[in-house]
Structure 1
């Protein structure tokens, strides 16, 4: 997935909506590459990733956001496509 490259440029609701569209298209075109390709598994991964998200930001040597941004939502949605 090359989608992760577009996450850093997400700063608005419109940017996030475009990213979600790209995410949906990627799922349609590359379902086999997604770890969580059913709604149930995807929602379960979102829940788990949000619980564990501090580790993601620590690994990137970034502070965990105190207040989620549009980019944070994109991080959650993207990471949950492959989070186990």
Structure 2
């Protein structure tokens, strides 16, 4: 299952942890594809995305579970510039 598929599957604690494991594996295998290479840059990007998106509300995730919202937050640390 691809990383994005794992993200889409997050609904609870177990699927969130499955996503986090997949995100970790993705970092190890594909670090060159990550926009943010340091933990500082990763957290800055995730925080910037949260501010810019009003923490998911601009992406149709207002009613999503907190697990899904935090998974998206982490995913955006990988891709957000």
Normalised by the length of structure 2, the TM-score is: 0.82
Unaligned runs of 5+ in 2: none
Q: Is the 1:11–1:70 Cα contact (8 Å) retained in structure 2?
A: yes
**What is the deviation of 1:6?**
2.0
The yes-or-no answer on 1:82 pairing with 2:54 is: no
Equivalent position of 1:40 in the other structure: 40
Matches within 5 A, 1:1-84: 2-54=2-54, 58=58, 60=59, 62=60, 64-65=61-62, 69-84=66-81
- Of Structure 1 and Structure 2, the greater helix share is in 2
Aligned residues: 80
RMSD, aligned α-carbons: 2.2
Q: Do the aligned residues in 2 keep the contact of 1:27 with 1:37 (CA within 8 Å)? A: no
- Using CA pairs under 8 Å that are at least 6 residues apart, name the structure with larger relative contact order, 1 or 2: 1
Alpha-carbon separation, structure 2, partners of 1:66 and 1:56: 9
CA contact (8 A) 1:16 1:74 kept: yes
Which runs of at least 4 in structure 1 moved beyond 3 Å after TM superposition?
Answer: 54-58
C-alpha separation in 1, matches of 2:37 and 2:80: 11
Distance 2:74 2:55 in 1: 16
